């Protein structure tokens, strides 16, 4: 140490500790894309599909869907992907009795008995059930000509006050 003492003293006398840098200000960005889902519009517009016309909120968009033995259909949705209107069109040329179709599909739609109602001026069966926790659904079955129309209204139960009435209005 004695041999290097003068060097250490020079280093210690010339040493100046660094000062902490000024804190950086974070860039403030207002993210309007994540402001939350846009509620369904009160203004309705007509949308047409395979043999039907439906009135939907004007901020909904349709996506064509086809599953299994379906003749085609459309899913209408807004900004919440768990609040939708799905219309599925099936061939009813071999079975057109609504009561029989409703009975055959009872297990798949919650197991309860359907309520009889009207859908577009046509006799319809309506099932109301919960397909998953926190989700509500109504399914309308109606036969017109040789087509079975299935209309599924699905909503998030936590948002029911905002979403159910516009879906039912459709």
DSSP assignment letter at 134: T
Please check whether residue 50 is in contact with residue 89, taking contact to mean a CB–CB distance below 8 angstroms: yes
pLDDT at 26: 65
pLDDT at 10: 82
pLDDT at 25: 67
In the predicted model, residues of the chain with pLDDT beneath 70 are: 24-36
Three-state DSSP state, 161:
helix
Please check whether residue 101 is in contact with residue 90, taking contact to mean a CB–CB distance below 8 angstroms: no
Across-strand partners of 85?
76, 153
- CA 156 distance to own-chain centroid: 8
pLDDT at 141: 96
pLDDT at 59: 92
Q: What is the pLDDT of residues 33-61, one digit of tens each?
A: 556 678 898 899 999 888 899 999 999 99
pLDDT at 150: 94
């Amino acid at each position: 140490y004695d041999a290097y003492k003068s060097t250490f003293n020079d280093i210690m006398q010339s040493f100046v500790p660094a000062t902490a840098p000024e804190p950086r200000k974070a860039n403030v960005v207002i993210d309007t894309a994540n402001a939350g889902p846009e509620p369904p519009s009160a203004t309705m517009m007509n949308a047409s599909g395979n043999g039907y016309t439906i009135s939907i909120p004007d901020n909904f968009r349709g996506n064509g869907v086809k599953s299994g033995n379906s003749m085609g259909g459309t899913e209408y949705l807004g900004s919440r992907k768990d609040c939708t209107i799905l219309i599925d069109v099936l061939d009813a040329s071999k079975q057109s009795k609504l009561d029989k179709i409703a009975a055959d599909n009872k297990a798949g739609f919650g197991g309860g008995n359907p309520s009889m109602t009207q859908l577009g001026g046509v006799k319809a069966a309506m099932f109301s059930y919960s397909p998953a926790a926190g989700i509500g659904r109504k399914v309308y079955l109606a036969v017109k000509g040789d087509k079975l129309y299935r209309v599924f209204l699905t909503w998030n139960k936590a948002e029911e006050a905002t979403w159910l009435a516009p879906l039912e209005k459709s």
